[in-house]
Homo-oligomer: A and B are copies of this chain.
Amino acid sequence: MFTLFCIDGGVCAPEGYFADGVACGLKPDGQKDLAFIRSDRLCDIRAIFTSNRFQAAPIVHFKQHAIETTNFILINAKNANAMTGSQGVEDIETVLSHAKATFGSIENPAMSSTGVIGVPLPKTAIMQGLETFDLNAKNPDAAAKAIMTTDRYDKQVAFEVKLESGESFRIGAMAKGAGMINPAMATMLCFITTDAAVPADEMATMLRLCAESTFNAISVDGDTSTNDTVMLLSNGASGVYDREAFMHALERVMHELALKIVADGEGASKCVAFHVTGARNREEAVIAAKALTNSLLVKTALYGEDPNWGRIASTIGASGVECDPDTLTIAFGGVTVYEKGTILFDAEQEKKAAQVMKKSAFPIHCDLGIGEGEFTAYGCDLGHEYVKINADYRT
């Protein structure tokens, strides 16, 4: 048994972590664009990265160095350092060497970047910026803001986990992400810190397991970025560990941040849980649920608050999973509009379903009526703001 308490402090909530964000001129108007996370002792670190074949330079660098322990992560926004070839990796070496020379105590530093693809890293600005870091600062809000791109708000979460024994550990995290969000392995930037004494050899597996139902279950636009990264840093400062409690807390942290990312989907006004049950198996439930999050016709109907269940049915039918109109049931919130071949969509039901869709978050339940497979994927609507943001992203 264990209890989770929601606490403040983001990535600085666990013992021994420091973080801050500064402005080094990558974003206009003096906005923060460069952040660090530091631990006062060496952390174990594991990460999961994008499935995109063109992985960005920071990911290539991380893998080349096979980083397994660190005490310093540098993160910049506005430039992805992707499609920048070997120069991109050399630039990271230059920047991180400069950080080491400036601060001395840094070991096995890693870098993470997000922003425009295909532009060389502005390393001079970044090196000048990192010289202004106060490594003893605990400003998680500033760090969380500095890593934002098109995000409307920063995304942080932290928990204190109390075990039955009275012992406790903490876990905290920050994430960024609003566009280029797709349900493929690791879909944004996320940095998780913990002072739990997590066995290093279990970290990667736990990250992957938790990603399945969290970051891999969300979609804003179906595009998989070159930079997606989830890092888990564990410094063991609490000396406390309980596998079940830690897994639960980690999943909770990742789930909350995943939902924050969907709710902040570019131009999004609604977060919708597509709950698919009765599929032939779990794999097919995943396929159908993710197809629903990615259908433009479904997303625009959500935006229009139009209970156009025909588009939901059509998307399931097109997804390639086993399905049958005579066993399918579709409900908006608690309002069933189609049940096993029968259309229950009179004026009154339509009004009720439209009422459900006025909410900023609601579930759409599709029971395929065939097997036991189920999965919930989280998506958002697509409106004029998405077009506006992405038609002029670079300018």
Contact = CB atoms under 8 A, between A and B. Distances in A.
Contact of A387 (B338, B342, B383, B392): B383
A394 interface: yes
Interface stretch (A7-15, A195-203, A239-247, A311-319): A311-319
A139 interface: no
Interface in A276-324: 294-297, 300-301, 303-304, 306, 308-311, 313-318, 320-323
Interface string A35-55: 000000000000000111111
A118 B309 contact: yes
A390 B54 contact: no
Contact of A226 (B82, B317, B345): B317
A41 B300 CA distance: 45
A369 interface: no
Contacts of A372: none
**Which of A119, A300, A342 has the most chain B CB atoms inside 10 A of its CB?**
A300
B313 A54 contact: yes
A316 B391 contact: no
A22 B360 CA distance: 43
Contacts of A386: 296, 300, 387
B343 A84 contact: yes
A341 interface: yes
B84 A296 contact: no
Given A297-B179, A311-B117, A384-B384, A318 B53 contact: yes
Contacts of A51: 318
A120 interface: yes
Contacts of A318: 50-53, 182, 184, 223-225
A206 interface: no
A116 interface: yes
Nearest to A295: B223
Contact of A310 (B83, B221, B383): B83
A395 B304 CA distance: 10
Contact of A117 (B180, B314, B392): B314
Interface in A114-166: 116-120
A326 interface: yes
Interface string A322-343: 1101100000000000100111
Nearest to A227: B314
A290 to B, nearest CB: 13
A231 interface: no
A157 B222 CA distance: 35
Given A54-B313, A226-B317, A300 B391 contact: yes
Contacts of A311: 117, 223
10 contacts: A53-B316, A54-B314, A83-B313, A83-B343, A85-B326, A118-B345, A182-B318, A223-B297, A304-B392, A387-B387
Given A308-B394, A384-B387, A387-B387, 15 more contacts: A51-B318, A52-B317, A53-B317, A53-B323, A83-B343, A85-B325, A85-B341, A118-B343, A119-B345, A180-B314, A182-B318, A223-B314, A297-B390, A300-B391, A306-B391
